[in-house]
Amino acid sequence: MTKRVMILATDGFEQSELEQPKQRLEEAGFETAVVSPNDGEIKGWDQTDWGQPVKVDLTISQVDANDFDALLLPGGQINPDKLRMEDGAVQLVRDFCQAGKPVAAICHGPWLLVEADVLDNKTVTGWPSIRTDLRNAGANVVDREVAIDGNLITSRKPDDIPAFSDELIKALQEQTEPQPA
């Protein structure tokens, strides 16, 4: 059975951080689903201005972490800031972490890990402006292309997308029965 990856995003996601990992996952044979608070389309942010819309496959109210094998959290400053105010989004992050499934967050995406309260004693990375938030949530923050701690995969910025995507694909390929975080 094909493994499924939930991409949790809303308006203001960083265009490259959603589209490039999504493409890499699909090329590797995985199914992806863009999940958002509302149906229709969400609009990306492309470096300095609004980017292209992306079709929403399912809304948060229509999904359950048990129906997916991994979670991808793209960054962009606006996207995770809006999502961390959505109780359903925060609960999904918690559910994936508690199930021990791969959770990959890039750039500002780890803000959702802070909100879900899943970073105590975890080694992670993220965009420089959120590193204090990560530390305050109990994480050991490092500055490297990819930080992996158990089921958590984190990266800093769009330049890290190839390594970030590779590690998520590797985690999915190696995945057997999920182990709680």
Mean pLDDT to the nearest integer, 75-84: 97
Where residue 163 falls among pLDDT bands split at 50, 70, 90? very high
Asked if 8 and 83 touch (Cβ cutoff 8 Å), the reply is yes
Asked if 124 and 149 touch (Cβ cutoff 8 Å), the reply is yes
pLDDT at 52: 94
Tell me which of 5, 42, 60, 107 is the catalytic residue: 107
Is pTM beyond 0.85? Reply is yes
**Largest pairwise CA distance in the chain:** 41
Mean pLDDT to the nearest integer, 93-107: 98
Annotated active-site residue 107? The verdict is yes
Q: What is the mean pLDDT of the chain?
A: 96
Among residues 38, 141, 25, 119, the alpha carbon closest in space to that of 72 is found at 25
For the chain, list the domains and their CATH numbers: 4-174 (3.40.50.880)
pLDDT above 90 for 178: no
Tell me which of 24, 82, 101, 108 is the catalytic residue: 108
Strand order in the sheet with 146-149: 58-59, 31-36, 4-8, 70-73, 103-106, 152-155, 146-149
pLDDT above 70 for 11: yes
Annotated active-site residue 108? The verdict is yes
Give the tens place of pLDDT for each residue, 137-146.
Answer: 999 999 999 9
pLDDT at 140: 98
pLDDT at 181: 55
Mean pLDDT to the nearest integer, 28-55: 96
